[in-house]
A and B are shown apart, each in its own frame.
Chain A
Amino acid sequence: MKIVGITACTAGIAHTYIVAEKIQNAAVEAGHQCKIETQGTIGAQNKLTPEEISQADVVIVAHDIAVGGMERFEGKPVVDIPIHVAMKNPKSLIATIEKKLENK
């Protein structure tokens, strides 16, 4: 599947980027395409394009603070989780999403 996502942590210095990498790695390892936008102190990086969003099967939003641009995902299945869930077990996060989408 095609996954897009956003990460944003409280300080916007480290967790945001680490968790983005973890989700990315877990998704690719499971055979999915994945792009994660990071919203940290330096602003949004690796920004999602409208095209990427429209093609995505699911949106992962891993955050401890409010994220910007949620309106972009209207009509998409959004998995909204705190940072620590993705940090602790990115593989099971992806597996859970796979199951949920299958059952739809």
Chain B
Amino acid sequence: MALKEILNENIIDLDLKGTTKDEILKELSEKLFAEKYISDMNQFIKDIYVREAEGVTGMGNHIAIPHGKSDAVNKIGIAIGRTNHDVEWESYDEEPVNLFFLFCVSNDHDFAKNHMMLLAELAGKLGNDARVEKLQSVSSKEELINLLCQ
């Protein structure tokens, strides 16, 4: 299975409008809901905040990786968003964030293990500073997907 299989243009938005963490999480969750990745938006967002309370999800380099680990998840995926403005977010480098990778995963660890492995591979790619810098300047969803699959 290739990385492309968990990346879906319909849950990517390079022009998010939200200006707060709440608004961003809601916007991305709405996309997941519309594409049937999750069955219950309120529950899903509540579960994201459970993880947020456990520790920082702002990775530095203006990236945040909130985790939606929830029973409301039907399908494993990753919603990706970018804003043209800074959004305040707790982060390791104490800088604001404008790139968001919302992990949408089941509470059941054995559920869709193949997809979980792809998600892990994708996460690793976010640890590469050069790639992350390029993510800031991609102008289309296709370009973004290609960059992540490289």
Contacts and interface: CB of A to CB of B under 8 A. Distances in A.
Interface stretch (B8-16, B53-61, B133-141): B53-61
Contact of A13 (B60, B67, B92, B127): B67
Contacts, number: 69
A22 interface: yes
B105 to A, nearest CB: 6
Interface residues of B, number: 28
B128 A21 contact: yes
Q: Is the interface of B mostly helix, strand, loop or mixed?
A: mixed
A85 to B, nearest CB: 10
Given A11-B51, A84-B92, A88-B60, A17 B129 contact: no
Given A21-B127, A22-B127, A42-B117, A11 B69 contact: yes
A38 B117 CA distance: 11
